[in-house]
Amino acid sequence: MTDSTDYLVHIHDRDVAHLIDGYLARRRDDVILARNALKQGDYEGLALLGHNLHGSGGAYGIPQLSRIGQDLERAARSEEAADIEALIAQLDQLLDRVRIV
């Protein structure tokens, strides 16, 4: 994901709208956690993180986040460090581009 354009997320449900900022802040924390887990070779932790992203991204209207999570889980289960590193970078870039409307 090298595109620098905004990734617009349309939130129509008020119950979700007031939760989205906190959700995205926690995903920022996940980027840090993922980098640390990769350094420590914690593939199980990375797989769980990917699984959780896969499940929650769609619930918050961010299917791209779900895709990254699914790919992260797969890469972690295969212990593909280079792929994991690239997916963490994609997650970081996506979070920089998300705009809530």
> What residue type is assigned to position 96 of the chain?
D
pLDDT at 1: 45
pLDDT at 60: 86
Contact 96, 5 (CB under 8 A): no
Instruction: Categorize the per-residue pLDDT at 3 as very low, low, confident or very high, splitting at 50, 70 and 90.
Output: low
Report the C-alpha gap between 53 and 43 in whole angstroms.
Answer: 15
Task: Give percent of the chain with pLDDT exceeding 90.
Answer: 69
Contact 15, 59 (CB under 8 A): no
Contact 83, 75 (CB under 8 A): yes
pLDDT at 14: 73
Torsion sign (Cα): 80, 86, 89, 91: negative
Instruction: Decide if pLDDT at 9 tops 60.
Output: yes
Q: What is the pLDDT of residues 21-68, one digit of tens each?
A: 899 999 999 999 999 999 999 999 999 999 999 999 988 888 999 999
CA geometry: angle 75, 42, 93, nearest 5 deg: 55
